[in-house]
Structure 1
Amino acid sequence: MANNVAELVFIPAPGVGHIMSTVEMAKLLVSRDQRLSINVLLINPPHPVSPLTDYIESVTKNMNEHIRFTEVARDHTPPKVDPKAFLPSFNEFIRSHCKYVRDIVANMISNQDGSRKVVGFVVDILCVSMIDVANELRVPMYVFFTSNAAFVGFNLYVDQNQHVIELSDSDREIVMPCFVNPVPMHVVRAEFLLDEELEFLVYSFRELRKAKGIMVNTFLELETHAIKSFPDTNFPPVYPVGPILNLDGVGGKADDTNVLSWLDSQPPSSVVLLCFGSMGCFNEVQVKEIAHGLERSGYRFVWSLRRPPPSEQSVEVHSDDPTVLLPDGFLERTSGVGKVIGWAPQVSLLAHEAVGGFVSHCGWNSTLESLWFGIPMAAWPMYAEQQMNAFELVVELGLAVDMKSDYLMDLFNPDANVVIVTAEEIERGIRKLMKDNEVRTKVKEISKLSRATVAEGGSSYASVGYLVQEIMSLKFVCHYY
């Protein structure tokens, strides 16, 4: 390893998308300067997540010498994450790890020599309570925002305009600097405007203002308006560094190993992919509506279907096989036309020339993957900031068609969902997705730009260069406790 090493401490939130993006960001930084070394501190999630475990196992086996992983200890009885107040309770869960992170980093500092120096923290936006540790150790802190620039702007707006809570149940639209168009209130999830959730958003963004810089997984050509809307004063520099992608996909095996072979026999751009992220699932009524909509559309399809876990109120015995939820005879009638699988190798599917459309939950990682491969989307958001992502894709950028942009699920109790997207709406959305040539053309154009921006001479390539230059300069200014 090169002499005069500058060491960064990365702290991702314990979720598949967050850790995956963080690891790819770490790989990007060390590839740009061999004098960088990164220690990724892994916090165990509140509840075991199989895809996360698979991914961590895969990356830790195949990592270069400049990146290592350290598991963070946890209390025997850590704070519980309350689904009804997710953000503040999750923050308390993260905060309970601060003392262990402090011990790890303090030990790194005490053991460093003249050729190696800890120069900064890079923390996930959901881990901003770690700024207390950075301040105590007098180590500079950056924030890595795994979502998009428009959502950064939304949080900034809420911080400065807390009165929006009064509009949460209205049909009003609000004007935000980060969007060209007025934003309808249904795009702003009601959970964000509850007292405790709003308090956390305000707290996290006031902490974020203390950072030396904000890395955002986006690129200038995609979110030009949002990126240029950030204030020039009293706000950290924003570095668009994306698209940050794991093109190898999340670790694990597809539940149907024949799906790619089946795609090989299908015409180009003829297949609709339906995949709703690591936590996306539906109740039985909705599954049947999706099946009927697919069948009526007549399009070829690959559908990643997972059954929701039983709720506390449910007395139903849930089978491990989600296909038991499908209408009688559906699999027989669509044999040869479609494939219903469990876990999906999403990157491999989007990269396949037979796939021509993507019905998506609009998670930001999935969105960037879809744009990278030039696949238009039908927006069916579910939770977190996905409704806002869908609004940006459909209304602001014209890169997706609307399937059900105001859909909202109870992530912790899918059986309780009362909104059902009908087979007619699904059929109509799929037909529009596959026939809208204007959207398809725009997506193909942004696909080219997404690849050009990370290549030498591109805007994200330059942004990462400025960031690396600043990080390396910290080696000469850090003075610890």
Structure 2
Amino acid sequence: MAMDTQVTVVMVPFVAQGHLGQLLHLSRLVSSYNIPVHYVSTTTHIRQASTRHQGWDLLAHHNIHVHEFPIPAFQCPAPDPNAKTKYPAQLVPSFEASIHLREPVFKLLTSLSASRRIVVIYDYPMASVVQDFVSLPNAESYIFQSTSAFFHFSYYWDLAGRPSPAGEEMLQQLPSTEDCFSPGALAFWNKQQVHAKNSSGELYNTSRAIEGHYFDLLHQLQVDKKRWGIGPFNPVDIIEKPDQERHKCLKWLDNQAPNSVIYVSFGTTTCLTDEQIYNIAVGLENSGNKFIWVLRDADKGDIFTGDVRRPELPMGYEDRIKEAGQGMIVRGWAPQLEILAHACTGGFMSHCGWNSCLESMSMGVPIAAWPMHSDQPRNAMLITKVLSLGIVVKNLTPANDLVEALHIENAVKKLIASEEGDEMRKRAAELRSNIKKSIAEGGVSRLELDSFIDHITRSN
């Protein structure tokens, strides 16, 4: 597709895994319109994004230019499994350190200023980093909202004092923002507001095929704001790799029955206590169901430095489940998109980070929801109450109560081996079909992406 290459896009993701990956996927979509994309972050976080990238070949996209900027070293504490809340407070120092990107990002923007237009797409928490774009007459910016339209509608509903809109009574069950975020994170977010006011619109990694109703409600709240729902950004059809390049868990999956395996992963920011890990292990084994469990500690601000806690399992556990052919433990990074796309994966026990929710919906896999912090409790409500694509393992509670092994066992059985689970899989398959249509030519997400590209390449 021939497009105006005098428009240059600069992507500035937030320095956490869920954000790095989403804007890398968006870079692929934008560059497919023959628009050069410059993707920027710290040296550490570029390495992190590259190491964990999956779903398509970054090196094959010559219109995507990756810039890594060194910043002063920052000290991040180890993840604390016994913290009062599950919000990853250990990452806040790396969030604060990202302000050191301000100068190199502006230098990059200045070096690109010969373009007819510079378009800066940035995560909301990076507003202070990109603030200097306003001094360039041909630059404009767009906020990437990395969470669901449902989350954003409920956030503004919170600010309005929690009125009771017709048909939205379930919103009264949502935990407060203070229960979902740490004070340090809320303070960091609040610092961005003054700079975010200079944006020209918002991009969402979601589709009206998933949550069109909440886009409409958002528009009613803010009729003057431009917003585009152009997701899912992640590939929806996964090209199978040669056998020698496939992860060993995929080869194990090949030998299972269709829809028989539950995939268990709580993302990059969840740090569980030893007692909780023990109960998950017992619950999975006692369920009798097949499983793949990604068991790794939460990320630090720099994932490449320091010791990593290796959570312990019951004595002989790994040998026992391996000999029985019941399950597989993955201690490192797992190819989540490929696992969810596999025909033998029948469910996903998840923290309900928005990336994981979208990837699961894209692949037609229902969810056992176990939210930990941030937007996750509201995403879990969207999945379980609005879309009926999952069950609740545990709602967020301030005390982070222990989930007993028997409860986990029953949740796995319900999702994988019950009529209710089968019905959820049917609905998930229907939504996957609708999502695929939405990103195809003429589909609602594709039309919104086309609309956004038309907007940023306009002549005036």
Q: What is the TM-score normalised by the length of structure 2?
A: 0.83
- How far residue 307 of structure 1 moved from its aligned partner, in angstroms, is 4.2
Paired residue for 1:401? 391
Cα gap change, 1:58 to 1:420, in 2 (>3 Å): same
- How far residue 442 of structure 1 moved from its aligned partner, in angstroms, is 1.8
- How far residue 122 of structure 1 moved from its aligned partner, in angstroms, is 0.7
* Residues 1:282 and 2:272 are matched in the alignment: yes
User: Any conservation in 1 of the 2:174–2:377 contact (CA below 8 Å)?
Assistant: no
Cα gap change, 1:433 to 1:59, in 2 (>3 Å): closer
Counterparts of 1:210-289 in structure 2, within 5 Å, are 210-231=198-219, 233=222, 235-246=224-235, 257-289=247-279
Alignment counterpart, residue 462 of structure 1, candidates 443, 447, 451? 447
User: Any conservation in 2 of the 1:154–1:176 contact (CA below 8 Å)?
Assistant: no
* Residues 1:356 and 2:346 are matched in the alignment: yes
Cα gap change, 1:341 to 1:117, in 2 (>3 Å): same
User: Any conservation in 1 of the 2:106–2:130 contact (CA below 8 Å)?
Assistant: no
- Unaligned runs of 5+ residues in structure 2 are 79-86, 301-306
Alignment counterpart, residue 446 of structure 1, candidates 409, 431, 440? 431
- How far residue 423 of structure 1 moved from its aligned partner, in angstroms, is 0.4
- How far residue 42 of structure 1 moved from its aligned partner, in angstroms, is 1.8
Distance 2:41 2:391 in 1: 37
Distance 1:3 1:50 in 2: 31
Alignment counterpart, residue 63 of structure 2, candidates 62, 66, 77? 66
Question: Which amino acid is 2:438 matched to?
Answer: T
* Residues 1:330 and 2:312 are matched in the alignment: no
- How far residue 152 of structure 1 moved from its aligned partner, in angstroms, is 2.1
User: Any conservation in 2 of the 1:306–1:342 contact (CA below 8 Å)?
Assistant: yes
* Residues 1:39 and 2:38 are matched in the alignment: yes
Deviations 1:116-169 (A, max 9, x none): 4343211112212245212122321111122211222234345x44xx6xxxxx
- How far residue 96 of structure 1 moved from its aligned partner, in angstroms, is 3.1
User: Any conservation in 1 of the 2:76–2:91 contact (CA below 8 Å)?
Assistant: no
Question: Which amino acid is 2:335 matched to?
Answer: P
Alignment counterpart, residue 287 of structure 2, candidates 297, 304, 307? 297
Structural RMSD (CA):
3.6
Q: What is the TM-score normalised by the length of structure 1?
A: 0.79
Paired residue for 2:84? none
User: Any conservation in 1 of the 2:41–2:101 contact (CA below 8 Å)?
Assistant: no
Cα gap change, 1:201 to 1:143, in 2 (>3 Å): same
Alignment counterpart, residue 108 of structure 2, candidates 104, 108, 116? 104
Question: Which amino acid is 1:423 matched to?
Answer: A
Distance 1:49 1:41 in 2: 8
* Residues 1:432 and 2:394 are matched in the alignment: no
User: Any conservation in 1 of the 2:74–2:94 contact (CA below 8 Å)?
Assistant: no
User: Any conservation in 1 of the 2:347–2:367 contact (CA below 8 Å)?
Assistant: yes
Cα gap change, 1:3 to 1:383, in 2 (>3 Å): closer
Cα gap change, 1:345 to 1:366, in 2 (>3 Å): same
Paired residue for 1:7? 8
Cα gap change, 1:326 to 1:151, in 2 (>3 Å): same
- How far residue 193 of structure 1 moved from its aligned partner, in angstroms, is 8.1
- How far residue 28 of structure 1 moved from its aligned partner, in angstroms, is 0.9
Distance 1:345 1:369 in 2: 12
Deviations 1:270-293 (A, max 9, x none): 111111112334222111101111
Distance 1:104 1:454 in 2: 32
- How far residue 360 of structure 1 moved from its aligned partner, in angstroms, is 0.8
Query: SS where residue 116 of structure 2 aligns?
Result: strand
Question: Which amino acid is 1:274 matched to?
Answer: V
How many pairs align?
435
Deviations 1:93-130 (A, max 9, x none): 33332122111211221xx2xxx434321111221224
Distance 2:272 2:92 in 1: 26
Distance 1:129 1:177 in 2: 37
- How far residue 306 of structure 1 moved from its aligned partner, in angstroms, is 1.6
* Residues 1:391 and 2:381 are matched in the alignment: yes
Cα gap change, 1:456 to 1:185, in 2 (>3 Å): closer
Paired residue for 1:419? 401
Question: Which amino acid is 2:147 matched to?
Answer: S
Distance 1:132 1:14 in 2: 17
- Unaligned runs of 5+ residues in structure 1 are 165-172, 311-317, 409-416
Query: SS where residue 395 of structure 1 aligns?
Result: helix
* Residues 1:366 and 2:356 are matched in the alignment: yes
Paired residue for 1:340? 329
Deviation larger for 205-214 or 388-397: 205-214
Identical-residue share of aligned pairs (%): 24
- How far residue 407 of structure 1 moved from its aligned partner, in angstroms, is 5.4
Question: Which amino acid is 2:22 matched to?
Answer: S
Deviations 1:233-253 (A, max 9, x none): 56421100001105669x9x9
Counterparts of 1:188-199 in structure 2, within 5 Å, are 188-192=177-181, 194=183, 198=186
Query: SS where residue 96 of structure 1 aligns?
Result: helix
Question: Which amino acid is 2:450 matched to?
Answer: G
Query: SS where residue 147 of structure 1 aligns?
Result: coil
